[in-house]
Structure 1
């Protein structure tokens, strides 16, 4: 079941393990629509609801998904273990690394990691 919760000031649509899967470009709108309906600025989707094609960069699904979320200014977090796909593809490892350095798309192990990632940066000491 999908729920909406505020995590560190960010309204997050947290998708449950069961539900519609992100199988292709046509499915992106459903997740974005649910985010808009909930007035959420971020969608957290578990790996269980993502097609394996997403993790094969040659399908271009990951790029299409990322671009669509960026265009509509909704952050996306993929939650769960993607190590089997990472082991098979240096390109995917690079994509995940670069994504996690930015703000639009994150690949995280669990919801605790998302909460930590959304924590405000500590104030730098002034000199």
Structure 2
């Protein structure tokens, strides 16, 4: 796993790059948050959809809710880059829509959109 920092106007965003699944359970998400905070002092993260277990996108597992609640508790903002068009679940589509209306979590189609969203929130 590599961590790259993107800086714009005093805002720092950590971009996580990995060829494997980084988050399989809640503890992995907490470990990632702690690693990024310690190594590059960032509280905004860009993560690729391919770095999350597919269970994250099955809302009935409650994994997404549990992870995102931990990130809220610690003041970490997250953008997940990927293609979500292949999901049929209305509840997942609604969850993604609602998340994108806020200032904490974003589900976007490109790294550029992720950076724009995260740099825009303070």
TM bracket (short chain): 0.7 to 0.9
**Cα distance in 2 for residues equivalent to 1:29 and 1:41:** 12
Q: TM-score, normalised by structure 2?
A: 0.87
In the other structure, the counterpart of 2:14 is: 13
In 2 relative to 1, CA 104–39 (structure 1 residues): closer, same or farther, beyond 3 Å? Answer: same
Q: Is the 8 A contact 1:41 1:74 kept in 2?
A: yes
**Alignment partner of 2:67 out of 61, 65, 68:** 65
Over residues 80-105 of structure 1, what are the superposed CA-to-partner deviations in whole Å (9 max), with x where a residue is unaligned? 112212xx200001100100000111
Q: Is the 8 A contact 1:10 1:41 kept in 2?
A: no
- The residue matched to 2:83 in structure 1 has which SS? coil
In the other structure, the counterpart of 1:113 is: 113
Q: What's the offset of the Cα at 1:28? A: 1.2
Q: Per residue, is there more strand in 1 or in 2?
A: 2
Structure 1 residue runs of 4 or more that deviate by more than 3 Å after TM superposition: 118-121
Q: Which residues of structure 2 form unaligned runs of 5+?
A: none
Q: TM-score, normalised by structure 1?
A: 0.84
Q: Which residues of structure 1 form unaligned runs of 5+?
A: 122-127
Q: Kindly indicate whether residue 28 of structure 2 is the aligned counterpart of residue 27 of structure 1.
A: yes
In the other structure, the counterpart of 2:80 is: 78
Q: Is the 8 A contact 1:79 1:111 kept in 2?
A: yes
**Cα distance in 1 for residues equivalent to 2:33 and 2:60:** 23
The alignment's C-alpha RMSD in Å is 1.8
Report the structure number with the largest CA radius of gyration: 1
In the other structure, the counterpart of 1:125 is: none
Q: What's the offset of the Cα at 1:19? A: 4.7
